[in-house]
């Protein structure tokens, strides 16, 4: 655990008692702060009691005594309207921060040169963050992984000169980290997301850009207009490097026949690793993730004066991937089974369909999002058959009717049995049974993880299956 010594002797309010909020409260207490914690929900307050975190009803508190409000990232800061704790804090001129801001202050205090890689973007954050940590560990470095993935940042080991912190950051977390200054700030991409919390895509992008502008070195994807504009503004302020899965760059990181290359301004290129045949990095979206990860690690090592001459091929090839994200879970002969339960909207499912252009036996459905799967019509040609599950079945049947052969399976177990039977009779070179629901899970499962775990269990019970080890 990281002790929050920068608030020693100060009174601090903590609101939102999920895992990161409780971790923040405990870190503040360990550092000598006087904590008053609260949550609107009974479950959060009960969890805090179990961790011996002192509860104070902040609606009745004297806010003039607080040095800061530590806000959980899921609590509205600006839109659709500020939470009542935010309003109380602002009325009393109390600064509002998050747990990663506490980490940033401790790093600045005890080890300001400790390597810190922060990753953001709309899509691909978790895979890129996990891949960066994997590459560094493969090379023998001490790595702490957390933030918006895995463990809350304040539960990690403290910053030190030889220890890398690799932290995924959402826009909500960036909004609560005013002194964010990572060694490397990675911006993957920008597409519309969380507009209810930021008001507009311009507001959303502006929050994300704070990570780019605050970094010692920025690594920015340039395959969308918003991120490209961020890079163009950043190069006026400090060191930056671009990466692209779509175009050749000099200088920058890009692809040449599926191989990651780094080019200097004279277009002299160094070949680093091929993505060919790496099952955990299929598709153009994962090519961008891999480019970002390689760029982040290489630029970080160069910045801190360490050798970047790594076994890049070995590092990428050995990446196990993340559960529920284009996860190959097993095979029966030539038939591959892929768990993409994390695909809760059409945009995410599109990446899966692009990665498997033919002979796809697609399990789809759940609680539908606005627009359903109509945007995926241009990819229907590669779908051998669709198996509809959940609340969306009627809507999706109308979308697929006359365009894709489909069956109303209703439940996941029925869909797995039917899809596996049909795939095994297919004559293609590598038929794919793909769970990529393009829907939320809440009609039949508690969350997408439970849905993906159920798929794994069902596939594991099939005759002749050879399962991959869970990552």
What tokens appear for 275 in the block?
A: 């993505």
Give, in order, the Cα–Cα distances in Å from 451 to each of 16, 125, 162, 399, 411. 27, 21, 39, 23, 11
Q: Within a domain: residue 275?
A: yes
Q: Report whether 367 contacts 396 (CB < 8 A).
A: no
322 lies in some domain: no
Cβ-contact 369, 390 below 8 angstroms: no
pLDDT band for position 265 (50/70/90)? confident
Residue at which a domain ends, from 295, 317, 339? 317
Residue 376 lies in a domain: yes
Asked if 380 and 404 count as a contact pair (C-beta separation under 8 A), the reply is yes
CATH value at residue 282 = 3.40.1190.10
DSSP-assigned letter for residue 280: G
Instruction: Identify which of 269, 106, 110, 290 has the alpha carbon closest to the alpha carbon of residue 186.
Output: 290
Considering the domain architecture, whether residues 275 and 345 belong to the same structural domain is answered as no
Q: What is the distance between the alpha carbons of residues 461 and 443, in angstroms, rounded to a whole number?
A: 24
**Residue 39: which CATH number?**
3.40.50.720
Mutual angle of helices 448-460 and 412-424, in 10-degree steps: 50
User: Residue 268: which pLDDT band, with cuts at 50, 70 and 90?
Assistant: confident
Banded model confidence at residue 470, pLDDT cuts 50, 70, 90:
low
Residue 404 forms part of a structural domain: yes
The neighbouring-strand residues paired with 138 are: none
DSSP state of 470: P
Q: Report d(CA 433, CA 71) in Å as an integer.
A: 42
If pLDDT is split at 50, 70 and 90, which confidence band does 198 have?
Answer: low
Boundaries of domain holding 142: 100-317
pLDDT at 150: 86
**pLDDT tens digit sequence for 410-429:** 999 999 999 999 999 999 99
In a domain, 218, yes or no: yes
Please tell me the predicted confidence (pLDDT) of residue 195: 61
For residue 278, give the nearest of 260, 296, 263 by alpha carbon.
Answer: 260
378 and 258 in a common domain: no
251: cis peptide before it, omega within 30°?
yes
Ramachandran angles phi, psi of 387, nearest 5°: -125, 110
**3-class secondary-structure state, position 340:** coil
Give yes or no: residues 313 and 341 share one domain: no
Give pLDDT tens digits for 442-459.
999 999 999 999 999 999
Note the pLDDT of residue 122.
Answer: 86
Residue 40 in any domain: the answer is yes
pLDDT for the residue 200 = 87
Q: Which backbone phi and psi does 113 adopt, to 5 degrees?
A: -100, 5
Here the tokens at position 17 are: 């008692």
Give the pLDDT confidence score for residue 469 in this predicted structure.
76
- pLDDT at residue 74, as a whole number: 86
Domain count, the chain: 3
SS3 329: strand
- Residue 85 shares a structural domain with residue 108: no
How far is it, in rounded angstroms, from Cα 408 to Cα 386? 9
Cβ atoms of residues 239 and 302 within 8 Å: no
State the CATH number of the domain containing residue 374: 3.90.190.20
Residue 210 lies in a domain: yes
Partners of 364 in the β-ladder: 388
**Contact predicate 366/441, CB 8 Å:** yes
Same domain? 281 vs 339: no
Reading phi first (left if > 0) and then psi (alpha if -120 to 50, else beta), residue 366 is in left
- The mean pLDDT of the chain is 95
Of 10-14, 264-268, 312-316, 396-400, the least confident: 264-268
Q: What angle do CA 168, 182, 78 make, to 5 degrees?
A: 60
Nearest to 166 by CA among 138, 179, 185: 185
Mean pLDDT calculated for residue range 155-171: 96
Q: What is the mean pLDDT of residues 86-115?
A: 98
Residue 104 has pLDDT above 90, yes or no: yes
296 and 401 in a single domain? The answer is no
Same-domain pairing of 114 and 252: yes
Are 263 and 150 members of one domain? Answer: yes
56 and 191 part of one domain: no
Asked whether residue 159 falls in the same domain as residue 282, the answer is yes
Residue 396: inside a domain: yes
* 236 and 313 belong to one structural domain: yes
- In the predicted model, what is the mean pLDDT of residues 329-350? 95
What does the pLDDT look like over 170-194, one tens digit per residue? Answer: 999 999 999 999 999 999 998 865 6
pLDDT at 471 over 60: no
Average pLDDT over residues 281-299: 96
Claim to verify: residue 285 and residue 382 sit in the same structural domain: no
242 — pLDDT class (breaks 50, 70, 90): very high
Closest of 442, 459, 460 to residue 451, by C-alpha: 442
Burial label for 163, CB within 10 Å (0-12, 13-18, 19+), is middle
pLDDT of residue 197: 65
């Amino acid at each position: 655990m990281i002790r929050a010594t920068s608030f020693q002797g100060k009174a601090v309010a903590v609101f939102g008692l999920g895992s990161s909020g409780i971790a923040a409260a405990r870190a503040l207490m360990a550092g000598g702060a006087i904590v008053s914690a609260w949550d609107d929900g009974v479950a959060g307050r009960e969890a805090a009691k179990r961790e011996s975190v002192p509860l104070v009803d902040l609606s009745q508190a004297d806010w003039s005594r607080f040095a800061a409000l530590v806000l959980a990232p899921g609590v509205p800061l600006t839109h659709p309207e500020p939470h009542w704790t935010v309003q109380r804090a602002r009325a009393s001129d109390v600064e509002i921060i998050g747990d990663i801001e506490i980490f940033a202050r401790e790093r600045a205090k005890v080890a300001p040169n400790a390597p810190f890689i922060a990753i953001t973007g709309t899509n691909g954050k978790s895979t890129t963050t996990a891949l960066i940590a994997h590459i560094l560990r493969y090379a023998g470095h001490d790595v702490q992984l957390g933030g918006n993935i895995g463990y809350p940042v304040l539960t990690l080991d403290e910053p030190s000169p030889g220890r890398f912190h690799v932290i995924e950051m959402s826009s909500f977390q960036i909004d609560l980290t005013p002194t964010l200054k990572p060694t490397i700030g990675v911006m993957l991409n920008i597409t519309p997301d969380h507009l209810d919390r930021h008001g507009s895509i311009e507001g959303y992008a502006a929050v994300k850009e704070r990570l780019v502008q605050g970094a010692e070195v920025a690594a920015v994807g340039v395959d969308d207009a918003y991120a490209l504009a961020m890079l163009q503004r950043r190069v006026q302020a400090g060191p930056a490097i671009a990466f692209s899965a779509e175009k050749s760059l000099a200088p920058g990181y890009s692809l040449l026949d599926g191989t990651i290359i780094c080019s200097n301004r004279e277009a002299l290129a160094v070949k680093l690793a091929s993505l060919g045949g790496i099952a955990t990095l299929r598709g153009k979206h994962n090519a961008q993730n891999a480019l970002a990860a390689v760029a982040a690690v290489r630029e970080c090592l160069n910045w801190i004066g360490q050798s970047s001459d790594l076994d890049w091929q070995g590092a990428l090839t050995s990446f196990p991937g993340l559960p529920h994200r284009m996860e190959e879970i097993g095979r029966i002969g030539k038939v591959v089974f892929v768990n993409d339960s994390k695909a809760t909207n059409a945009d995410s499912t599109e990446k899966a369909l692009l990665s498997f252009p033919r002979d796809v036996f697609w399990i789809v459905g759940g609680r539908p999002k606005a627009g359903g799967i109509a945007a995926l019509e241009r990819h229907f040609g590669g779908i051998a058959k669709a198996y509809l599950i959940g609340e969306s079945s009627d809507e999706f049947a109308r979308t697929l009717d006359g365009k894709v052969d489909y069956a109303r399976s209703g439940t996941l177990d029925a869909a797995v049995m039917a899809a596996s039977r049909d795939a095994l009779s297919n004559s293609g070179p590598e038929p794919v049974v793909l769970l990529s629901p393009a829907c939320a899970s809440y009609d039949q499962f508690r969350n997408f993880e439970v849905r993906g775990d159920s798929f794994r269990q069902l596939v594991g019970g099939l005759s002749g299956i050879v399962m991959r080890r869970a990552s």
